[in-house]
Structure 1
Amino acid sequence: MILSFISLENEKLLNSIHVVRDFPEVFLDDVLGLPPKRELEFSIDLMPGAGPVSISPYRMAPIELSELKKQVEELLEKQMIRPSVSAWGALVLLVKKKDSGVRLCVDYRKLNKLTIKNKYPLPRIDDLMDQLRGAFVFSKIDLRPFLDKFIVVFIDDILVYSGSMEEHREHLRIVLQVLKEK
């Protein structure tokens, strides 16, 4: 998990934030394996009559194929993925990152077309901004590195906001305790 800390008064380094030091297990450098099985099981509801979709892979250059193999082996080693014999299959591709590395991506658009959409509307941005009125301290927790690895969320950031530093420490402590327990 990556945490950005911003204060309108001044900026501080992550390790100087006392509440962050109290939750080292929440701020792992690397994730080894999937989390323990949870009580709630997630499933994807499909439209009636929808059958398995499997797409042939894109052709890749040898260097891309080598990188793909390396990343898949790393994910297998960390037990974040496992071999599958499912009738379902999605395209895998490599996307260039700003730092000149590559990110492994899975193209689930064909599956998405067959899913029954959840009816959870996103909040209006102006309503969200109204909630921030009067706040002076903000912490944004970026869960993107773990999205679809062991977290299912529809928006991958948590913004913690507070009117004072004292209030903010307590708000962060509450959020981090929940993340630690889950």
Structure 2
Amino acid sequence: MTYSIKLQGSSVYSKIDLRSGYHQLRIREEDIPKTDFKTRYYHYEFQVMPFGLTNAPAVFMDLVNRVWKPYLDKFVIFFIDDILIYSKNEKEHEEHLKAILELLKKEELYAKFSKSEFWIPKVQFLSHVIDSQGIHVDLAKIKSVKDWASPKSPTEIRQFLGLAGYYRRFIEGFLKMAKPMTKLTQKEVKFEWGKKQEAAFQFLKQKLCSAPILALPEGSEDFIVHCDTSNKGLGAVLMQREKVISYALRQLKIYEKKNYTTHDLELGAVVFALKIWRHYLYGTKCTVFTDHKSLQHILDQKELNMR
């Protein structure tokens, strides 16, 4: 969620849903014949941009980028046809909302009122709930996790982990918890759902249902990155002023397990963390903590290997 740093300090929100987004773009006259299709009775051509064209998302995003450019990342964030307006207080929000509504009118873009929300203290956006405290998991999504029956095939495991994995940034050690289940999705492994898998499944559900609130970043200073590695994976925690911003974890690849020394893996954890949170850390000074003391001399080495 790269937009989270933009939302720091916000407390009032409005969300506008553009009505049939793609259909608000007319197709050029000379391109209309390219959209023709025939049914049993009639021949049709699209006058407006239809859903399903390969370049439709890119064309629509280009339009939205040009329209919202003056306000983008100042008090507006958008994703396809969802517009999020965020402000620090009600007075500021009144000005922001007025500017956006006037722009919609000027550009002749139409919103769907029934799917839009105005002047709300918290908002659901991209499957997360955002308020002045920080970022929460979406309770509607979590309910489906809570009611999920034990998987009976590798496909059902993938379906569960696909939904649960969307919220892995809220849970420290997500991949480690899920490992007994992910093993059963491998082709060469026979599917046998046992006590280990059931325990991991129930524990993961419990963790997701009680996931903590992740803080929104406050400015671009005082970031602290804690890194660690094990014989199974690389892990990291991003913090700011003693508040957790995000968790991250990934499994080691086979060649890393075989060929990398402890020193290389510990350094790999640092690189992994700095890459995954680069949108927070680039251009700032941050503190990196690692329990591998020899890494502090990495910048003093005259010769570094290619790795």
Length-normalised TM-score, structure 1 = 0.29
Q: Identify the structure with the greater helix proportion.
A: 2
Length-normalised TM-score, structure 2 = 0.18
Higher relative contact order (CA 8 A, sep 6+): 1
- Higher Rg of the two aligned structures: 2
